[in-house]
Amino acid sequence: MAGTLPGLLWLGFILSGLLGLGRTFVVEHENDCWEALLLAPGDKSAIYVGKLAGNLLLMLAVEAILVVLFGLFFNLDLAGVLPGLAVVIVLGTVAFAAVGTLFAAMTAQVRARELLFPVLLLPVQAPVLLATVKATEAVLLGEPLGSVAHWLKLLAAADVVYVAVGVLTFDFVLEG
C-alpha cells in the first residue's frame, strides 16, 4: 500500500490540475473577451506569465489541502518530510502549470476542449510525473533530497524549458 501512495497523491494533483488548468481561458471566451486578449498591445507573453502565476497559486493551494488530507487518511507523519515534499511539489507543479497554461490557450476555442486538453497535456507531462512520483517516494521514505538530485535536476530543467517555450511562443498562440 505504501508503495502506491506517491502515485496516488500525484494522481490527485493531476486530476485537479486538469480540471482547473483546462478552464484557464474559458472565462475570456464565455464573456467575449477573447478578442480583447488578441488585440492587447505589447508583449502577449505577459498574459502568459500572469495566467501561469495565477494557475500556480491555485494548484499549490489545492495541493496543500490534498497533502493534508492524505496525511490524515493514510496516517502519515508529514512533519519531518514537509520541506522536501514542498520542493518536489513546487518543481512539479511549475512544469505542469507551464505547459497546461499554454495548452489551455490552444484548446480554448476547440469544441471538444475537455477531451483534447488532457490528451495533449498528459503525454507531455509523463517525464515530469515519473520524476515527481519517484522523488516523492524517496521523500516519504525519509530519504534526503540529495538522493534524488537527478530527478530534481530533471524537474528544474523541465521547468526552465517549459516556461521559456511558453513565454516565447505565446505571442503566436494569441495572434488574430
Partner 1 sequence: MVRVVGGVTLAALAAGLVMGFGVAPREATQGNVQRIMYLHVPSVWVAYLAFAVVLAASIAYLARRAEAADRLAHASAEVGVLFTGLTIATGSIWGKPTWGTWWTWDARLTSVSILFVMYLGYLLLRGMIEDRERGARYAAVLGIVAAFNIPLVHFSVYWWRTLHQPPSLMKPGPGTMPGIIVAALLVNFVAFSLLYVYFVAKRVGLLRREAEAAL
Taking a C-beta distance cutoff of 8 angstroms, is the pair 166, 48 a contact? yes
Question: To the nearest whole angstrom, how small is the minimum distance from the Cβ of residue 164 to partner 1?
Answer: 9
Question: To the nearest whole angstrom, how small is the minimum distance from the Cβ of residue 36 to partner 1?
Answer: 17
Query: Is position 62 an interface residue for partner 1 (rule: CB under 8 A)?
Result: no
Number of residues in contact with partner 1 under rule CB under 8 A:
31
Query: Is position 46 an interface residue for partner 1 (rule: CB under 8 A)?
Result: no
Residue 89 or 105 having the CB closest to partner 1: 105
Grid coordinates representing 169 are 511562443
The beta strand positions in 48-92, using DSSP E, are none
CB under 8 Å to 18, separation ≥6 — which residues? 100, 117, 118, 121
DSSP 42: S
Residue 66 or 99 having the CB closest to partner 1: 99
Question: To the nearest whole angstrom, how small is the minimum distance from the Cβ of residue 15 to partner 1?
Answer: 18
- The number of beta carbons lying within 10 Å of the beta carbon of residue 28 is 18
Under rule CB under 8 A, which residues in 122-151 are in contact with partner 1?
A: 123-124, 126-128, 130-131, 134, 150-151
Question: To the nearest whole angstrom, how small is the minimum distance from the Cβ of residue 97 to partner 1?
Answer: 14
Helix (H, G, I), strand (E, B) or coil at 45: helix
Quick one: which of 99, 104, 152, 163 contacts partner 1 (CB under 8 A)? 99
Residue 61 or 109 having the CB closest to partner 1: 109
Q: Among residues 56, 173, 55, 171, which one has the least CA distance to residue 103?
A: 173
Query: Is position 3 an interface residue for partner 1 (rule: CB under 8 A)?
Result: no
Residue 63 or 137 having the CB closest to partner 1: 137
Rounded distance between C-alpha atoms, residue 118 and residue 61, angstroms: 21
